[in-house]
Structure 1
């Protein structure tokens, strides 16, 4: 009972913080039919500034980090993204009423990372005075790209097998837009597919802004503009983003009515399962390199989150057959709010196992 009381106290105190309060406020406004609207250009500008802030902070910290301290958490992030997709391919993608293509697109988004959720977690840790590694933002691409590439490759391969275009030693060209010529072998076509996915993902707006911030942070000296502009604006801009995400999440719930109820179950439960995977790998990194408790929390949050910026356009381009109502509805409508609301749980667990 004491443990449940501690969890309830932690959750209640965090719900009163601006980050979660604005998210719940946005959902409440949408539920009441409010006509409040944040213009799309403003929303995109807010997202751009937040991503640059996270990237700059990560880049500045990378300059001072040793290779092992960064490499182990980066490997844990990539493994987390792959593990989430593999787990989803054995669960959601095989449930009745879920097509393999829709299922893999959904698990790909849930394996990828929500920059806004990561920013929200950082703000909550900062408010509580919980330290974490400054290079955490640099882990974002490792998990994001690993999950998206794995999900899209598995979906393409499953589609090819269903069309009987991958013989024992033959080509995989039909599903990839080729002619089925014997001159092209499967591994070569798969490498081409991977390169295309990597290019599309790296060129997406979210990843591009994040990587630009990291590069400037590592190679330049942006400390002055970071401290005078990005850092002071961070929490205010984040509150606007949380408001928009709350309204968007509520509106997306209606899309889930068009698809199987399995997506509702997955959207509610997956963030907790995935967060536990990230938390466990974070604990391993803690034992190997002294990865901080705050870092473990943020790794769990990244695992619990689902991509809301870079992932959907990547899936639309790579898997046009997949139904956006399924993968966007499940991730934005349910996965994102559950992931954000679960942040206090990871903070409590880190405090329980390590101490904050």
Structure 2
């Protein structure tokens, strides 16, 4: 009962936080019929700045960290991405009315990672003075890329069974290239490289850190606007996608928490790091995933995987999963 009260209190606090408040505000303003729009170029620029900051901060920490400390969490990140795609694909394969390509694309998007959800969780932990290793955001590509690759390969295997044969090895190389060249991973990898091999501390403290939370609030507002607009698309597809989008983030986050707890026992992974691994697992890609899946699984209906992810998956990950796993860590670790 005490834990439930703690979660309820944290959930209400999260609703009042700038992160979720701007998300809800964006949805409400579209619901009211506003014609306000944010140019896509501004959206991409905000993503670039946020991920550059996350990458540089992680790279600076990696520079002085023991590689051995990262090894087990990185391996578990790969495992979580693969498990999520396999579970999602298995679920949708049981539904006769759901096309194979739609199911694999949705599973791939939920196996990939949302940088905005990651950023929101980091801000919350920093506000509450919960320690986490600064290299934890560097786990992003370890989960993101394997999930996208596996989803596309599974989709292609299903297509081959239907009689159309393609080169799986070629597709794997293509999706790796597309993922790395995408705006999200490109910015994150660049920030990591600068943090590891350069000395960007002055520009990080003087420019990126002061604007980080302000830019995050704008990003949440944009995602709220898009989430509401995608609800109409989601109405056009089977209700199973909505059910999956409601339950999957929580289940995936619990898988991440369980493996993070193992890493805590075996390698000293911090409780804050366990929370972030859980949130990464609970998130679903809103930047790198959609364009990669559109190119890799062109037969899939974007209304299924993007609609389910943006309309339901992201709000659940941010509004429910972040306070849920912070509260769970408080119960398990006493943080």
Alignment RMSD (CA, Å): 1.1
Q: Is the 8 A contact 1:93 1:102 kept in 2?
A: no
Offset at residue 79 of structure 1 (A): 0.5
Summarize deviations over 1:271-321 as a string: whole Å, max 9, x none.
111111111111111111111111111111111111111001101111111
**SS of aligned partner of 1:242:** helix
Q: Is the 8 A contact 1:92 1:266 kept in 2?
A: no
Q: Is the 8 A contact 1:94 1:100 kept in 2?
A: no
Q: TM-score, normalised by structure 1?
A: 0.92
Offset at residue 38 of structure 1 (A): 1.8
Inter-partner Cα distance in structure 1 for 2:268 and 2:16: 31
From the two aligned structures, give the one with the greater helix fraction: 2
Provide the residue aligned with 1:184 in structure 2.
Answer: none
Q: Is the 8 A contact 1:293 1:355 kept in 2?
A: no
Provide the residue aligned with 2:165 in structure 1.
Answer: 175
Provide the residue aligned with 1:348 in structure 2.
Answer: 327
Inter-partner Cα distance in structure 2 for 1:103 and 1:65: 39
Give yes or no for the alignment of 1:298 onto 2:276: yes
Q: Equivalences for 1:1-356 in 2 at 5 Å?
A: 1-163=1-163, 174-176=164-166, 189-341=167-319, 342-356=321-335
Offset at residue 14 of structure 1 (A): 2.0
Inter-partner Cα distance in structure 1 for 2:216 and 2:208: 11
Q: Is the 8 A contact 2:53 2:212 kept in 1?
A: yes
Inter-partner Cα distance in structure 2 for 1:133 and 1:98: 41
Inter-partner Cα distance in structure 2 for 1:297 and 1:31: 33
Inter-partner Cα distance in structure 1 for 2:96 and 2:141: 32
Q: Is the 8 A contact 2:53 2:208 kept in 1?
A: yes
Inter-partner Cα distance in structure 2 for 1:24 and 1:300: 23
Q: Is the 8 A contact 1:255 1:325 kept in 2?
A: yes
Alignment size in residue pairs:
334
Inter-partner Cα distance in structure 1 for 2:29 and 2:228: 9
Q: TM-score, normalised by structure 2?
A: 0.97
More divergent stretch after superposition (93-102 vs 229-238): 93-102
Inter-partner Cα distance in structure 2 for 1:138 and 1:334: 26
Inter-partner Cα distance in structure 1 for 2:247 and 2:33: 27
Provide the residue aligned with 1:179 in structure 2.
Answer: none
Moved over 3 A (4+): none
- Unaligned 5+ segments in structure 1 are 164-173, 177-188
Offset at residue 215 of structure 1 (A): 0.6
Inter-partner Cα distance in structure 1 for 2:55 and 2:147: 20
The structure with the larger Rg is 1
Q: Is the 8 A contact 2:3 2:327 kept in 1?
A: no
Offset at residue 218 of structure 1 (A): 0.4
Q: Is the 8 A contact 2:118 2:276 kept in 1?
A: yes
Offset at residue 191 of structure 1 (A): 2.7
Inter-partner Cα distance in structure 2 for 1:209 and 1:329: 25
Offset at residue 196 of structure 1 (A): 1.6
Inter-partner Cα distance in structure 1 for 2:287 and 2:29: 22
Offset at residue 93 of structure 1 (A): 3.5
